[in-house]
Structure 1
Amino acid sequence: MSNIKVLVADDDPNVCEIISLYLKQNQYDVVEANNGKEAISLFESSKPDIILLDIMMPDIDGYEVCKEIRKKANVPIIMLTAKDEELDRVLGLEIGADDYVTKPFSPREVVARIKAIFRRMPALTNNTNTNENKDFTFSSFSILVDQREVIAHGEKLFFRPKEFDLLLYLVQNPQIVFTREQLLQKVWGFDFAGDVRTVDVHIKRIRDEFAKHQILCIHTVWGVGYQFHINKKE
């Protein structure tokens, strides 16, 4: 995990200090921001590999910071929040966060979440089964695995890191119906503490992006879960 740069954005200096110290002990590079404006500025100047983003910050809250960053990059974002309501967690996921940690939390948990995100990304793009390093081409879109890009009708579609991971896993396992719990385990990892609504939010965003090109490829199997299936006309 050396050379991984983490932007820690939290208005509580004690939280920043504790997380930063633990991250540095685990060989991460760390930059700190104490408000929303500073977080956006440091994101642009320091080019972090992952962001720990507090929701309740002065001047610009974490939701707005997340939205602003998502306009420019797909860097993984973990939301730090004192809120424990499902609506707040889902909102964070809907605007582009990849994961969330509810305060109070231990620095060890934060590091575990970071490792889980980076562990899943190469695991999915270097699958040791039959689809290893294989690009996928359909009549209406293509998935470039190594580049982590989806191209439809000559246009690059916008997928956040976890959305791409979820789409790729489904594409690598066509026709198979997965429950939400199975997708949480396979894509987010066994140590993800979120709920199954997380999967629904990400599926909706993937569908919305494909809908711009009138592509339907992820289907709901009612009472069970989701499957990837391409009609011949796609």
Structure 2
Amino acid sequence: MDMYTILVVDDDADIRSGIEIYLRNEGYAVVQAENGEEALALLATTEVHLIILDVMMPKLDGIQATFKIRAERNIPIIMLSAKVEEADQILGLSVGADDYMTKPFRPLELLARVKSQLRRYMTLGTYAVENNAATIDVGDLSINVETKQCFVSGNEVKLTPLEFQILTLLMQHPGRVYPIDAIYEAVWQEPAYNAANIVAVHIRKIREKVEANPKNPQYVKVVWGVGYKIEQP
């Protein structure tokens, strides 16, 4: 496998070391940081392909760190937290995390999610490439699956890896309604379970970035009780 570098951020040294052991056994390179400030400093000097990020940390917590990272980068972020409430999960996804795991977690499940996120990140645009289309246009909305860029009226907007894949899936077939579970299973590549809120959070973030009026969207439409679609204006 290719050598990917993973940044593990947690104020608990034992947790960082434990995660590193499992990751290195799978062939990944690992760098560590004990808070968000250290993580941002490392990202400025080190090529990182995925971040495992704790929520509750001193100096700069995981929520604040994710917000700052997303302003510059689309690296996959798996958020870890002792908070198990659904509202906490939604908050983490809302600020740009790609996945959310509660502590204590099973190391093998974390590894599976790492592999899944890296696969998506390193092969973004799979859906469109399979259809021999490097660029997909719907009205003034355009995505380039080779450069992993999204444009609205010629202006680039930054999407997270999951946002990009959801939008790519929907834009492949304008007018086609994708059920929520189908979106989740196609993009997350795992069986859908309580997927409605997770997908809705990502759809909301996409709308905030590509729609002139997110509350009255022109492109990303909901079909109540069914799912979502891209509408050709």
- Tell me if both proteins adopt one fold, taking TM over 0.5 as the criterion: yes
Alignment match, 2:228: 226
Alignment match, 2:33: 33
Query: In the alignment, does 2:16 pair up with 1:3?
Result: no
**Aligned 8 A contact 2:9 2:16 in 1:** yes
SS of match in other structure, 1:209: helix
**Aligned 8 A contact 1:56 1:81 in 2:** yes
Provide the alpha-carbon RMSD of the alignment. 2.1
> For residues 66 and 192 of structure 1, what CA distance do their matches in structure 2 show?
25
Alignment match, 1:44: 44
Q: How many Å apart are 1:229 and its aligned residue?
A: 1.6
Normalized against structure 1, the TM-score is what?
A: 0.91
Q: How many Å apart are 1:180 and its aligned residue?
A: 1.3
**Aligned 8 A contact 1:9 1:52 in 2:** yes
SS of match in other structure, 1:127: helix
Alignment match, 1:144: 144
**Aligned 8 A contact 1:126 1:132 in 2:** no
Alignment match, 1:210: 210
Q: How many Å apart are 1:191 and its aligned residue?
A: 5.6
1:1-234 equivalence runs, <5 A:
1-121=1-121, 125-127=125-127, 131-190=131-190, 195-212=195-212, 216-231=218-233
Q: For residues 84-132 of structure 1, what are the alpha-carbon distances to aligned partners after superposition, in whole Å with 9 as ceiling and x for unaligned?
A: 1001000000001011111111221111001111223456523388623
> For residues 87 and 45 of structure 1, what CA distance do their matches in structure 2 show?
34
Q: How many Å apart are 1:173 and its aligned residue?
A: 2.9
Are the structure 2 counterparts of residues 4 and 193 from structure 1 closer, same or farther at C-alpha, using a change threshold of 3 Å?
farther
Q: For residues 119-157 of structure 1, what are the alpha-carbon distances to aligned partners after superposition, in whole Å with 9 as ceiling and x for unaligned?
A: 234565233886234311244132111111112222101
Are the structure 2 counterparts of residues 13 and 64 from structure 1 closer, same or farther at C-alpha, using a change threshold of 3 Å?
same
Share of identical aligned residues, percent? 37
> For residues 121 and 184 of structure 1, what CA distance do their matches in structure 2 show?
16
Are the structure 2 counterparts of residues 77 and 129 from structure 1 closer, same or farther at C-alpha, using a change threshold of 3 Å?
closer
SS of match in other structure, 2:127: coil
Normalized against structure 2, the TM-score is what?
A: 0.91
SS of match in other structure, 1:45: coil
> For residues 7 and 133 of structure 2, what CA distance do their matches in structure 1 show?
30
* Length, aligned pairs only: 231
Q: Which runs of 5+ in 2 are unaligned?
A: none
Are the structure 2 counterparts of residues 33 and 48 from structure 1 closer, same or farther at C-alpha, using a change threshold of 3 Å?
same
> For residues 27 and 193 of structure 2, what CA distance do their matches in structure 1 show?
24
Aligned letter for 1:151?
A: F
> For residues 69 and 161 of structure 2, what CA distance do their matches in structure 1 show?
13
